[in-house]
């Protein structure tokens, strides 16, 4: 299958890209900047996988609109699976949260997701098959202080998925949101520093008392777990799973 992943120049997107390429899929690695996307794609190719790199800023409508042409130029025969992963974080009390930054987070993680889905959905519909996955978060289902923009955007993915699930119910297309707790990535490392500053505690205390304490299993989520979940959602066994949240939280919401 041809799989396009946004925000795949690092972190979760890069990890899933590498994992799915190892399973024999062709991966289109996209990022707002070409260099990190190409670095991930080249690493995949060095290991014998098939990968292409494209620069796509999901907040730039002109770039999103030109995506199909870019794919044709890259000799990618359509996109079977879209994984909307692009994301960023900013930790701040709402009173001091700059609204331009607040809006940017929502634009990347929610509006950008809608734009990418809108761009690639017609081809999937024409083929009669497609899989769309959003990389949400535990914050798609719960809240945390100082993360108002992130939580609002990630919650929004849930409602968006339900609507598009209904709009695509007449064809073999599914759309779901994968909601992991913390995955040890550069983004999470930044959050640890920011949370330590916001709460006035050490970085290790952030890990122990804020990130992992709510999880009875007490461990970070791995790229392998997320890759496996995406692979399952692509399979025929998951053709009737749509509009759902796949919560990967180590028991967080079971309490």
Q: Which residues are catalytically annotated?
A: 150
Q: What is the DSSP letter of 38?
A: H
Between CA 235 and CA 23 the distance in angstroms is: 13
- Give yes or no for a contact between 243 and 224, defined as CB atoms under 8 angstroms apart: no
The residues facing 245 across adjacent strands are 177
Between CA 13 and CA 86 the distance in angstroms is: 8
Burial class (CB in 10 A: 0-12, 13-18, 19+), 20: buried
Q: How many residues belong to the chain?
A: 255
CB atoms within 10 A of CB 189: 12
């Amino acid at each position: 299958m041809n799989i396009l992943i946004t925000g795949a120049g690092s972190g979760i997107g890069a990890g899933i890209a590498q994992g799915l390429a190892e399973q024999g899929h062709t991966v289109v690695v996209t990022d707002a900047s070409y260099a990190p996307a190409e670095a991930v794609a080249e690493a995949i190719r060095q290991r014998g996988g098939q990968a292409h790199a494209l620069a796509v800023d999901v907040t730039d409508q002109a770039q999103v609109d030109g995506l199909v042409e870019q794919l044709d130029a890259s000799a990618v025969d359509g996109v079977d699976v879209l994984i909307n992963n692009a994301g960023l974080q900013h930790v701040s009390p709402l009173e001091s949260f700059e609204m331009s930054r607040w809006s940017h987070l929502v634009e990347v993680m929610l509006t950008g997701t809608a734009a990418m889905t809108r761009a690639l959905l017609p081809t999937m519909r024409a083929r009669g098959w497609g899989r769309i996955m959003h990389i949400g978060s535990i914050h798609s289902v719960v809240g945390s202080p100082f993360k108002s923009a992130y939580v609002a955007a990630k919650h929004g993915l849930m409602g968006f998925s339900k609507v598009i699930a209904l709009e695509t119910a007449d064809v073999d297309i599914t759309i779901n949101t994968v909601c992991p707790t913390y995955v040890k990535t550069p983004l999470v490392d930044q959050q640890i520093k920011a949370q330590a500053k916001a709460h006035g505690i050490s970085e290790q205390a952030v890990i122990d008392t804020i990130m992992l304490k709510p999880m009875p299993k007490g461990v970070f989520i791995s790229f392998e777990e997320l890759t496996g979940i995406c692979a399952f959602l692509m399979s025929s066994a998951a053709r009737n799973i749509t509009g759902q949240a796949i919560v990967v939280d180590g028991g967080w919401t079971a309490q």
